[in-house]
Structure 1
Amino acid sequence: MRSTGALHLGHYHGVLKNWIKLQHEYECYFFVADWHALTTHYDEPENIENHVWEMLIDWLACGLNPGSCSLFIQSRIPEHAELHLLLSMITPLGWLERVPTYKDQQEKLKERDLATYGFLGYPLLQSADILAYKAGYVPVGEDQISHLELTREVARRFNFIYGKEPGYKEKILAAIQKMGAKNADLYNEAKKQYQESGNENALDRGRALVMAQNNLSLGDQERLYGYLEGSGRIILPEPEALLTQNSKFPGLDGQKMSKSYGNTIAIREDAESITKKIKTMPTDPARIRRSDPGTPEKCPVWSFHKVYSNQETQAWVQEGCTTAGIGCLECKKAVSDVVIEEQKPILERAQQYIDNPKLIKEIVREGCESARAVAKETLEEVRDVMGLPHRDR
């Protein structure tokens, strides 16, 4: 997560609950992306460090366990930056410009100057974040699939360029020549269509052409399949998406909860503030008077009930609202009570880290050591295949 401010209930229900579950199913690495925060908030250095520590407290308070996962800070692992630089040498500029969120974020954040090299390159930094650990899976929502696909393309291109055996090009050309002039032309055209436009039919045609050649050795066949697909020896594995459920948690106004909309409840908000915010939430506009019946589906408060309230309470709200049997303040109080109750253990756990800052720093130190050991191994291999001199060890 980018360290750009206090976490809210949208983060908790949309992301953190899933992370808490995943830490017991996979070897997980979770980091505070302070470099990513600089891509949009580079002019606010006075806030970055505080946001980092506050985010880590939120994570631990919600239930991430340093005994079950690695928690670290991005900028403490210089291998992320080095891999980003090395990958930038082979990544076409057009790949970055076509990432959907690039122009979308520039449009949404017009008040910020985002015409920077760092902002253009942040999807590639994300790729480095993932590939440094040779991740098998990345938990993402639907809106982040394009970023993960870029990572897969970058890994594929890297493997194609640097995952070749000695004399690879000569062996490929010789294998294509064995196919005969007509089949060679068809193979090259299929390769071009697949690699330029992702045409799956072209990929199937190319594979069928190779399979039909009886004069090719098994080694030649494998080389031609890899050349067709644009792949080589796997140095950086292509990660798969671990799709999460729809993470659009409702805000106080019925829109998605977001700091930019000013409709949030913080993960560590105090009870008085929660009560006040929910009490002033808009309701079904048809309920002008206490005696007017309403429709829960038209009321933002109902969205909170669907997340927080049990079936019995939801039935009470449905009956009371549609018959004007209960008032909006009664309905809101039922929500604020359960939100406050859920916050209590989170606030208690958070206080332990607030009172003992050395503890959280020790957790981060250990997490950074664990993460960097893995990233270092990856970078040694990457430097080796790119022909860079080994550092003194």
Structure 2
Amino acid sequence: MQDKRVLSGMRPTGQLHLGHYYGVLKNWLALQNEYDSYFFVADWHTFTTHYSDKIDLNTNVMKMVVDWLSVGINPNTSTIFVQSKVPEHAELHLLLSMLTPLSWLERVPSYKDQQLKLSTKDLATYGFLGYPLLQSADILIYKAGLVPVGEDQVAHIELTREVARRFNYLYGREVDFEEKAEIAISKMGKKQAKLYRSLRKVYQEIGNDDALIKAQALLQQQQNITLGDRERLLGYIEGVGKIVLPEPESLLTKASKMPGLDGQKMSKSYGNTISLRDTAEQIRAKIKHMPTDPARIKLTDIGNPQKCLVWQLHKVYSNKSTCDWVVEGCTKAKIGCVECKQPIINAIEEELTPIQERIAKYQADPGLIKQIIFEGSEKARSVAKETMIEVRKAMGINY
């Protein structure tokens, strides 16, 4: 089941905005109908960069879950939970830290990048250095097969794969592993067993990745073996023993096409966002203050949409006829910048109005939100507990 399980999370550091909606939440909406989806509020991760800030986590967590529900994340098809409600994340993080080389964490690209970008913060802490490993624990404890990430986060998933591989190599060896693997092969049937042995030999002798992929696909199709045998035979191919913590795959997501009000990536740290909760007055004020083509000082001045930040929003929200109207009106000085901005204002208000109506509805019933968080966290914890039983047994601390 883990190959169909997706896990993703967000830090509750402030209000969600259109960048989150287009870059993350719309992707979640598609995934929840296709995969066994686990979406969590990463409240512990907040402290990796905001440990000294006065953040009202209680309010932020509740608001974040409300916003998720209001855009359409369905608690009946997705598991919505809060990281700190599943303490097994911390236990696995601790145990993984015992076997993860320091150099692996130091080479994660975001380690130095974030220190430069957040130079006003003191990030010379273990928590900041180790946050990619906490992310690895978040993923591995649910044996998530897929993790939706942008290109800038692929290195974190690769670290997770390396950590899982190292754990399996160190602790995945059973005393009678080979005997159990051979018994499992015999259950596959003569033809399938012969094919498996052939693919395993090719992979181990010459490192043929295609043989590994075919063998993995063959095992996924087997109906005569248990999940434990399948994991054991996956490990038998690679010579690592039983796979306790399966390696996840990156599920690359498209970069958010939502630019900020200043042309940069929409981000709270840049102060260039439109919040999912902004009022109509706030939306109008923000759009009306957006810079336009500096060449258009007077209405009669000819402009170039490619030099206008508002044009970037038209490419997100406007249909072809409206875009043609903008190009015609701007390049021939037929419309003013205020007039050009109005369709964007209308489109954002139209998009956010039903979301905000649902936000108001959910906020009126805080008991329901707490119940959703409780039930989701209990479900997540039951899965995490099962993984930790395996991890403790593999490491010999199940006494």
Aligned 1:1-393 pairs, distance under 5 A: 1-166=10-175, 207=207, 231-390=240-399
Q: Distance in 1 between matches of 2:58 and 2:248?
A: 30
**How far 1:53 sits from its partner (Å)?**
1.2
- Residues 34 and 48, structure 1, Cα contact 8 Å, conserved in 2: yes
- Residues 7 and 266, structure 1, Cα contact 8 Å, conserved in 2: yes
- Residues 152 and 238, structure 1, Cα contact 8 Å, conserved in 2: yes
Q: Distance in 1 between matches of 2:282 and 2:108?
A: 39
Q: Distance in 2 between matches of 1:150 and 1:136?
A: 15
- Residues 168 and 241, structure 2, Cα contact 8 Å, conserved in 1: yes
- Residues 177 and 241, structure 2, Cα contact 8 Å, conserved in 1: no
CA separation of 1:227 and 1:102: change in aligned 2, threshold 3 A: farther
User: Which protein has the larger Cα radius of gyration, Structure 1 or Structure 2?
Assistant: 1
**How far 1:315 sits from its partner (Å)?**
1.3
- Residues 156 and 230, structure 1, Cα contact 8 Å, conserved in 2: no
**CA deviation vs aligned residue, 1:115-136 (integer Å, no higher than 9, x gap):** 1111111000000000010001
- Residues 29 and 69, structure 1, Cα contact 8 Å, conserved in 2: yes
Write the letter of the residue equivalent to 1:55. Answer: M
**How far 1:206 sits from its partner (Å)?**
5.2
**CA deviation vs aligned residue, 1:30-66 (integer Å, no higher than 9, x gap):** 0000000011111135422221111111111111111
Q: Distance in 1 between matches of 2:238 and 2:111?
A: 27
Q: Distance in 1 between matches of 2:176 and 2:77?
A: 45
**CA deviation vs aligned residue, 1:345-385 (integer Å, no higher than 9, x gap):** 00000001111111100110110111111111000000000
TM-score by length of 2: 0.82
Write the letter of the residue equivalent to 1:27. Answer: D
- Residues 10 and 258, structure 1, Cα contact 8 Å, conserved in 2: yes
**How far 1:166 sits from its partner (Å)?**
2.2
Write the letter of the residue equivalent to 2:135. Answer: Q
CA separation of 1:233 and 1:303: change in aligned 2, threshold 3 A: same
- Residues 248 and 257, structure 1, Cα contact 8 Å, conserved in 2: no
Secondary structure in 1 matching 2:89 = helix
TM-score by length of 1: 0.83
- Residues 49 and 128, structure 2, Cα contact 8 Å, conserved in 1: yes
- Residues 32 and 52, structure 1, Cα contact 8 Å, conserved in 2: yes
Secondary structure in 2 matching 1:241 = strand
Write the letter of the residue equivalent to 1:389. Answer: N
Secondary structure in 2 matching 1:376 = helix
**CA deviation vs aligned residue, 1:188-235 (integer Å, no higher than 9, x gap):** xxxxxxxxxxxxxxx998548xx9xxxxxxxxxxx9x97996733211
- Residues 317 and 347, structure 2, Cα contact 8 Å, conserved in 1: yes
Q: Distance in 1 between matches of 2:241 and 2:360?
A: 51
Identity rate, percent: 64
Q: Distance in 2 between matches of 1:56 and 1:115?
A: 31
- Residues 204 and 238, structure 2, Cα contact 8 Å, conserved in 1: no
In structure 2, stretches of 5+ residues that fail to align are 1-9, 179-202, 212-231
Secondary structure in 1 matching 2:56 = helix
- Residues 158 and 236, structure 1, Cα contact 8 Å, conserved in 2: yes
**How far 1:165 sits from its partner (Å)?**
3.2
**How far 1:309 sits from its partner (Å)?**
1.2
CA separation of 1:24 and 1:279: change in aligned 2, threshold 3 A: same
In structure 1, stretches of 5+ residues that fail to align are 170-202, 212-222
Write the letter of the residue equivalent to 1:109. Answer: L
Secondary structure in 2 matching 1:289 = coil
Secondary structure in 2 matching 1:65 = coil
Write the letter of the residue equivalent to 1:143. Answer: D
CA separation of 1:230 and 1:152: change in aligned 2, threshold 3 A: farther
CA separation of 1:81 and 1:319: change in aligned 2, threshold 3 A: same
